[in-house]
Amino acid sequence: MRTRLKRRVSGGMALAAVIFLSVVAAAFGYAFEEYYGNVELCSSGCYIQSGGAHTFTYNSGWHTDTGFPYLACQLFNHEGENVVENQSGSCNVKRGNNGAYVWARVYNESGGGGEDKVEGWAHTN
């Protein structure tokens, strides 16, 4: 009987700790984030993409080489959600949090036949 009570108390304390840490992480951090890419991309429309769809609200892309390639950040799904922002050197895109699952991509649209090393970071908040 005493052993069962100890297990219940220990299990309850562990559950309380998990709930507490989840609340703290949500309050001070991102609910979900993913870094992707860090690869050489051709400069004529090649892209990197998140590993899966999520309820991303932000997507950022940047190059890790010298120069300022023309990049496009995108959040999209096949139900019609599509938000894109273009910029030289880096890009950022934001969408409203409607709970829809979207993919995150960063395109290299520099043209000219070279390659640029590009990374992406998508997250919810």
pLDDT at position 29 is 60
Task: Please report where in the chains the tokens 């139900």 appear, as a residue.
Answer: 79
Contact 102, 49 (CB under 8 A): no
**Class of 33-123 in CATH:** mainly beta
**20-45 pLDDT tens trace:** 444 444 445 668 999 999 999 999 89
| Res. 13: pLDDT tops 70 | no
pTM tops 0.85 = no
The chain-wide mean pLDDT, for the chain, equals: 82
pLDDT at position 30 is 67
Question: Structural domain boundaries of the chain?
Answer: 1-30, 33-123
pLDDT at position 40 is 92
